[in-house]
Amino acid sequence: MDYQGPQAADLADVHSLNTAFLACLHSPGTAVGLLLRRMSPALVERFVALNARQLARLARTPFMLLSFREHDDEFWDGLLRRDVSRDLLAPLERPSDDIAQLTAAGMGFLWQLSKRNPYTARVLGGASLYWCERIATRTLMELLLRVIPCNHLLEPRLADNADFWSKLLSAGVSPEREVRVAARLCALQTMLTQSPAAIYRRLPAAACNMPMPALRVAEKPERLRGAKES
């Protein structure tokens, strides 16, 4: 099977989404809701101290810095079962306009990528193939009606992984290109090799204690002996 990698247009979209996401996080009042929720105060302080040039370098990270909680199966189970028509009338705490617009743009990008090339969605967004299959079966309008009202959907990718963000916020914004590239590759490897427990819960046989077929092994010499005697 031919696995097509990210195209130049895909990487350009990722850059645009990262730029908009970092601008949201760097605007007054937004970082508290998005960064402090799961990131350590030390990392938040380091992020807020980045200048415009460093933010531009960080936006060039070749995968999405924003996450839609793709590995939180319990959250997505509830989101996809939710009665959209009822939620439209409910007095919910809505996200700000810039977050709602970014959510729509990011989910639209991952939706079309999941339908066109889910393996690229895995590389650029860290999404599992199972998650891609789930959102690809929905229409884009239905998906947007479900995700845009969510006030706690959008967050930094691997926000609770201090090593991941420490690398991106130091070497990842270095003025030296080789240092930045190395940091990005290291971060990409971390994202692709993360192993959420939910993935393994879907493959119980792979982790089961399988009893050894002792009886059949013991019977094998008897069958061989009988064949020689005949």
Domain boundaries, the chain: 8-229
Q: Phi and psi at residue 155, in whole multiples of 5°?
A: -160, 165
> pLDDT per residue over 3-58, tens digit each?
678 899 999 999 999 999 999 888 776 666 677 788 888 898 899 899 999 999 99
Cα 97 from Cα 213, distance rounded (Å): 61
pTM confidence score? 0.79
At 67, phi and psi to the nearest 5?
-125, 150
Q: In angstroms, rounded to a whole number, what is the distance separating the alpha carbons of residues 167 and 107?
A: 26
Single-letter amino acid code for the residue at 7 = Q
Average pLDDT over residues 100-115: 94
User: What are the pLDDT digits (tens) for 150-200?
Assistant: 878 888 999 889 999 999 999 999 999 999 999 999 999 999 887 454 443
User: Helices (DSSP H) in the chain: which residue ranges?
Assistant: 8-26, 30-34, 41-48, 52-59, 73-81, 84-89, 97-116, 118-125, 129-136, 140-147, 162-169, 177-193, 197-201, 204-207, 214-229
